[in-house]
């Protein structure tokens, strides 16, 4: 064995595999009335259900073998296909796996977060998993890292706003030395993308970390509506005294959302604000969780 090959065996490596499937589902609990199901799940309760093109990212870790691989990708593909995609593709999720049998006391709705956890349980004996991410669509996804009923759910939204990076106590020249073109007097604008990640326990019956509609309403009411089509320095009082860098905007959004999200039963985990294709800022509301997060989850978060 060459020294290079042995060096690879001594070091851990994370690999990812992507898989896709198309499925439908319906959010409807038999113990609730039609009115209560509509109140809880909105349009998602309507018969016969609705569908998504799901994208699954499987992260695995291990040392390199003598062939320079963590795992044979053919074996990985086979495991994901037999255990997940062959069973779910072009199916009605409520009628696929026994975990979604709502006639049973422990049956739950096939939400994104519940589905991610159950996929983990079906793959964990086949593959050295460290993280799973499941996209229901590009603006909604769940992450799971094998921690019992604990999972992460992310929604993405956007707003358009202008800002100027400058400190009032400094001259224009001094501001330009710090902020460059971003200090020009009339400001400039961005189409901001905001990822809001919450963490919590998956409810054993609803399959949800929290009420998704309530979360989306909070984000819309506290972030999108106040910030959209504004000049942040002039229209948002907080930024009259604070330079609206991407970092400061993300921190302010986190401060606005942390307690309201707590009130609906989840924990704000992270805010990611993308200012442009080249610039983004991430702030964590849960420092212990950041320290405990495995490298694979951080890696897929950055994709």
Q: Could you confirm whether 169 is annotated as catalytic?
A: no
What would the mean pLDDT of 230-239 be, rounded to a whole number? 97
Distance of CA 66 to the CA centre of its chain: 35
Q: Can you read off the two tokens belonging to residue 15?
A: 């690999």
Other Cβ atoms within 10 Å of 66 Cβ, number: 11
Instruction: Give the residue carrying structure tokens 């994104």.
Output: 112
The H-or-E segment that residue 25 falls in is: strand 12-25
Beta carbons of 134 and 56 less than 8 angstroms apart: yes
Q: Can you read off the two tokens belonging to residue 136?
A: 């229901």
Q: Is the pLDDT of residue 269 over 70?
A: yes
Q: What is the DSSP letter of 85?
A: I
Report the mean per-residue pLDDT for the chain. Answer: 92
Q: Is the pLDDT of residue 83 over 60?
A: yes
For 19-66, the pLDDT digits (tens) are: 999 999 999 999 999 999 999 999 999 999 999 999 999 999 999 998
Residue 60, classified by CB atoms within 10 Å of its CB into exposed (0-12), middle (13-18) or buried (19+), is buried
Residue 232, classified by CB atoms within 10 Å of its CB into exposed (0-12), middle (13-18) or buried (19+), is buried
Is there a single domain that holds both residue 158 and residue 303?
yes
Q: Is the pLDDT of residue 1 over 90?
A: no
Question: Which entry of 40, 182, 247, 286 is annotated as an active-site residue?
Answer: 182
What would the mean pLDDT of 221-233 be, rounded to a whole number? 98
Is there a single domain that holds both residue 201 and residue 252?
yes
Is there a single domain that holds both residue 139 and residue 234?
no
pLDDT at 303 (0 to 100): 42
Is there a single domain that holds both residue 117 and residue 235?
no
Is there a single domain that holds both residue 104 and residue 226?
no
Is there a single domain that holds both residue 77 and residue 168?
no
Q: How many CA atoms lie within 13 A of 20 on its CB side?
A: 5
pLDDT at 8 (0 to 100): 46
Q: Can you read off the two tokens belonging to residue 133?
A: 């991410």
Is there a single domain that holds both residue 196 and residue 259?
yes
Question: Which entry of 99, 113, 136, 275 is annotated as an active-site residue?
Answer: 275
- Cβ-proximal residues to 291 (8 Å cutoff; 6+ apart), any chain: none
pLDDT at 11 (0 to 100): 62
Q: Which of 108, 124, 146 is the last residue of a domain?
A: 146
What gap in Å lies between CA 245 and CA 281, rounded to an integer? Answer: 9
Q: Is the pLDDT of residue 2 over 90?
A: no
The 3 state secondary structure assigned to 170-237 is CCHHHHHHHHHHHHCCCCEEEEEEEEEEEEEECCCCCCCCCCHHHHHHHHHHHHHHHHCCEEHHHHCH
Instruction: Give the residue carrying structure tokens 């898989």.
Output: 19
Name the residue range of residue 258's domain: 149-303
C-alpha Rg value of the chain to the nearest Å: 22
Is there a single domain that holds both residue 181 and residue 116?
no
pLDDT at 169 (0 to 100): 96
pLDDT at 292 (0 to 100): 44
pLDDT at 105 (0 to 100): 87
Q: Is the pLDDT of residue 90 over 90?
A: yes
Is there a single domain that holds both residue 87 and residue 164?
no
What gap in Å lies between CA 214 and CA 93, rounded to an integer? Answer: 24
For 245-255, the pLDDT digits (tens) are: 999 999 999 99
Residue 201, classified by CB atoms within 10 Å of its CB into exposed (0-12), middle (13-18) or buried (19+), is middle
Beta carbons of 167 and 175 less than 8 angstroms apart: yes
What gap in Å lies between CA 182 and CA 303, rounded to an integer? Answer: 27
Report how many domains make up the chain: 2
Is there a single domain that holds both residue 162 and residue 111?
no
Other Cβ atoms within 10 Å of 65 Cβ, number: 13
Q: Could you confirm whether 182 is annotated as catalytic?
A: yes
For 108-157, the pLDDT digits (tens) are: 999 999 999 999 999 999 999 999 999 999 999 999 999 999 999 999 99
pLDDT above 90 covers a percentage of the chain that reads: 88
Beta carbons of 272 and 282 less than 8 angstroms apart: yes
Is there a single domain that holds both residue 3 and residue 49?
yes
Q: What is the DSSP letter of 1?
A: -
pLDDT tier at 12, thresholds 50, 70, 90: confident
What would the mean pLDDT of 75-88 be, rounded to a whole number? 98
Question: Which entry of 7, 50, 188, 229 is annotated as an active-site residue?
Answer: 229
Instruction: CATH number of the domain at 169, please.
Output: 3.30.479.10
pLDDT at 108 (0 to 100): 97
Q: Could you confirm whether 25 is annotated as catalytic?
A: no
* The dihedral sign for the CA sequence 55, 109, 266, 43: positive
């Amino acid at each position: 064995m060459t020294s290079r090959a042995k060096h690879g065996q001594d070091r851990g490596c994370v690999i990812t595999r992507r898989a896709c499937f198309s499925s439908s589902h319906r959010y409807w609990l038999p113990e609730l009335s039609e009115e209560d199901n509509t109140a809880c799940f909105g349009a998602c309760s309507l018969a016969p259900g609705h569908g998504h093109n799901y994208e699954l990212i499987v992260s695995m870790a291990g040392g390199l073998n003598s062939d320079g691989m963590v795992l044979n990708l053919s074996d990985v593909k086979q495991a994901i296909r037999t255990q997940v995609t062959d069973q779910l593709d072009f199916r009605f999720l409520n009628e696929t796996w026994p975990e979604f049998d709502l006639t049973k006391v422990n049956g739950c709705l096939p939400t994104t977060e519940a589905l991610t956890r159950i996929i983990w349980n079906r793959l964990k004996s086949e593959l050295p998993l460290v993280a799973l991410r499941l996209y229901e669509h590009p603006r909604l996804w769940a992450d799971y890292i094998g921690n019992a009923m604990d999972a992460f759910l992310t929604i993405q939204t956007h707003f358009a706003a202008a800002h100027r990076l400058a400190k009032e106590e400094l001259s224009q020249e001094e501001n330009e030395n710090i902020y460059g073109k971003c200090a020009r007097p009339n400001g400039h604008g961005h189409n901001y993308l905001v990822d809001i990640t919450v963490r919590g326990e998956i409810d054993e019956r609803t399959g949800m970390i929290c009420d998704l509609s309530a979360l989306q309403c909070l984000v819309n009411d506290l972030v999108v509506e106040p910030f959209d089509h504004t000049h942040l320095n002039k229209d948002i009082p907080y930024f009259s005294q604070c330079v609206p860098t991407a970092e400061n905007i993300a921190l302010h959004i986190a401060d606005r959302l942390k307690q309201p999200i707590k009130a609906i039963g989840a924990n704000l985990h992270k805010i990611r604000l993308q200012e442009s294709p080249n610039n983004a800022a991430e702030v964590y509301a849960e420092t212990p969780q950041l320290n405990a997060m495995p490298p694979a989850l951080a890696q897929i978060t950055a994709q």
